[in-house]
Amino acid sequence: MVKLYWIGHASFWIKEPVSIVMDPFDEQISSNFPKIRAKIVTESHQHFDHAAHKRVGGSFELLTKPEKRTFPKVSIEGFPAFHDKEQGMKRGRNIMFKFSFPKAPTPQKEGEQGGAAPEEAPADAPFTILHAGDLGHLLTAEEVQALGKIDVLCVPVGGTYTLDPQEAADFTSALNPNLVIPMHFKTKLMDNVAELIQFLRVCDRPVVRRDSLNFSKINMEKAKGYCVVLTPLVFEK
């Protein structure tokens, strides 16, 4: 089971199967931050609104490089990118982190011999989440291919510092994830970027709203093609 919350801005929390915080923001974004004990923290770049790991509790591994790391319940790979369209000359580098969770084997029912039937067996491919950080440019076809299969895409949509709404929609189309979750848009935490509605108008996906996502209870085939707007845990300065 993978359970995902949106903390706010570009920060997410994977509560299960292992506690992971992505891009924690500092007090300039909000004086509020949930009390979370993490095992892993990822930071896409070292700007104040993405690199406040000191606000996270617990003894955790801090990942800030585009490299691959393997942990007992998740593999994490960082893909290098840029925060702008000028090869990082304007705002620096950005890391897109891909989280891969191995799928649990199908439980064997009492009295069964040999486990689940072949057609019921889970695919070998892991369940994947891509957090694009403050991606500021579209990727080449080769870069998209290198990312591989993506089940859930967390993408910045606000422009100004990241992809704008249309670019975010184009990026989503290129990756074709099962679900897309917009982030880094205009809220009470940040008001100098585009509003969410501007992305929703061009995303060309049906929209659902949720407090969190529990992927043990979601049939990904039936859910494929949706845009999910999550309720933030932090919504006030």
Q: Give 127's contacts (C-beta < 8 A, 6+ positions apart).
A: 2, 100, 101, 102, 103, 151, 215, 220
Rounded CA gap, 138 and 189, in Å? 25
pLDDT band at 109 (very low <50, low <70, confident <90, very high): very low
Contact 114, 6 (CB under 8 A): no
Q: Residue 52 and residue 48: Cα distance in Å, rounded?
A: 7
* Structure confidence by residue, pLDDT tens digits, 34-48: 999 999 999 999 999
Q: Which residue has the higher pLDDT, 223 or 191?
A: 191
Q: What is the mean pLDDT of the chain?
A: 89
Reduced to 3 states (helix: H, G, I; strand: E, B; else coil), residue 29 is coil
pLDDT at 117: 31
What is the helix (H) or strand (E) element at residue 2, kind and residue range? Answer: none
Per-residue pLDDT tens over the stretch 146-176:
999 999 999 999 998 999 999 999 999 999 9
pLDDT value at position 87? 85
Cα–Cα distance between 187 and 156 in angstroms, integer? 13
The confidence score (pLDDT) of residue 104 equals 56
**Is residue 113 scored above 70 in pLDDT?**
no
What's the rounded Cα separation, in Å, for the pair 199 and 227? 10
Spatial distance between the Cα atoms of 73 and 57, rounded to a whole number of angstroms: 20
Q: What is the pLDDT of residue 123?
A: 52
pLDDT score recorded for residue 124: 67
For each of the domains in the chain, give its residue range(s) and CATH number, in order of start.
Answer: 3-105+118-230 (3.60.15.10)
Q: For 3-12, 31-40, 78-87, 142-151, which range has the lowest pLDDT when averaged over its residues?
A: 78-87
pLDDT given at position 107:
41
Measured over the CA atoms of residue 188, residue 214, residue 164 and residue 199, the dihedral's sign is negative
The percent of residues in the chain predicted with pLDDT above 90, rounded, is 77
Q: Is 195 exposed, middle or buried (0-12, 13-18, 19+ CB in 10 A)?
A: middle
- What's this model's pTM, rounded to 2 decimal places? 0.90
- Of 15-19, 28-32, 101-105, which range is least confident? 101-105
Q: Is the pLDDT of residue 130 over 80?
A: yes
- Region 16-26: mean pLDDT is 97
> What pLDDT does residue 221 have?
72
Tokens in use for 4?
């995902």
Determine the pLDDT at residue 235.
78
Residue 114 DSSP SS3? coil
Q: Do residues 224 and 206 touch, judged by C-beta distance below 8 A?
A: no
